Amino acid sequence: MRIIHTENYEQLSRQAANIISAQIISKPNCVLGLATGSTPIGTYKELISRFENKDIDFSEVTTVNLDEYCGLTPDNDQSYRYFMNTNLFNHVNVDMAKTNVPSGIADDPQAECERYDNLIESLGGIDLQLLGIGHNGHIGFNEPDDKFTKETHIVKLGDSTIEANSRFFDSYDDVPKSAITMGIKAIMNAKKVLLVASGKDKQEILKKSLFGPITPNVPASILQLHPDLTVVECE
């Protein structure tokens, strides 16, 4: 495990963008696993500026996102598809047909979970997976539980997640109560994992995840077993 401590959020964003840029440069047709949340926004801004400077090219890149809220259509401004379009995809030359976010509105959610895992497998897995971390240790929407769930699955969101995400909605009641998330297997099978964590409030869960016992009660703790984990953090 490599931990890169940075002075501030701007530096964290540049470091994370360096690592993602290196991946794209060394393998132009790579599969990037992408994340939503407030932490990666600065990283995406950096990637956009590198694209504008012609330092990186997304034309052959495929993306797979971690998760999506159940019940939100792609054009809902709180959906993760909308987030990815507005924070990254619309500003770079990625082929939209090669961008993948699980659907939160599939008629058959279980079939959608299976489709998503098959898709990741058919792509040959993920080259670099970007992750944020929740205050409860979730990665994607893999919430604390008494077991790790390997496959893409539908998850009931924990109260602390709903509370944390309510800042983006008009009220707590408006936050979807379930989501579809990539499971632990696709994340752990990614060739490289890049975890970003910003703020004093993330330090405790980060310490617990990286140095505490490996337990599904702290989903990110499984990353201790990943052979190529880089953590970029700032307080």
The catalytic site residues sit at 67, 136, 138, 143
Per CB under 6 A, the list member of 15, 23, 39, 209 interacting with ligand PGA is 39
Asked if 203 touches ligand PGA (CB under 6 A), the answer is: no
Nearby residues of 23 by Cβ (< 8 Å), 6 or more positions away:
30, 32, 127, 128, 192
Tell the smallest beta-carbon distance from residue 165 to ligand PGA (Å).
8
- Choose between 130 and 154: whose C-beta lies nearer to ligand PGA: 130
Per CB under 6 A, the list member of 94, 133, 157, 231 interacting with ligand PGA is 133
- Choose between 108 and 170: whose C-beta lies nearer to ligand PGA: 170
- Choose between 55 and 168: whose C-beta lies nearer to ligand PGA: 168
Q: Near ligand PGA by CB under 6 A, which window of 21-29, 33-41, 181-189, 208-216?
A: 33-41
Asked if 134 touches ligand PGA (CB under 6 A), the answer is: yes
HSE, CB side, 13 Å, CA atoms: give it for residue 155.
30
- Interaction pattern, residues 80-119, with ligand PGA; x per rule: CB under 6 A: ----------------------------------------
Per CB under 6 A, the list member of 5, 8, 22, 38 interacting with ligand PGA is 38
Per CB under 6 A, the list member of 109, 132, 137, 183 interacting with ligand PGA is 132
Size of the site for ligand PGA (CB under 6 A): 6
- Choose between 27 and 199: whose C-beta lies nearer to ligand PGA: 199
Residue 171 CB: number of other CB atoms within 10 A? 7
Asked if 37 touches ligand PGA (CB under 6 A), the answer is: yes
Q: Which residues contribute to the site for ligand PGA (CB under 6 A)?
A: 37-39, 132-134
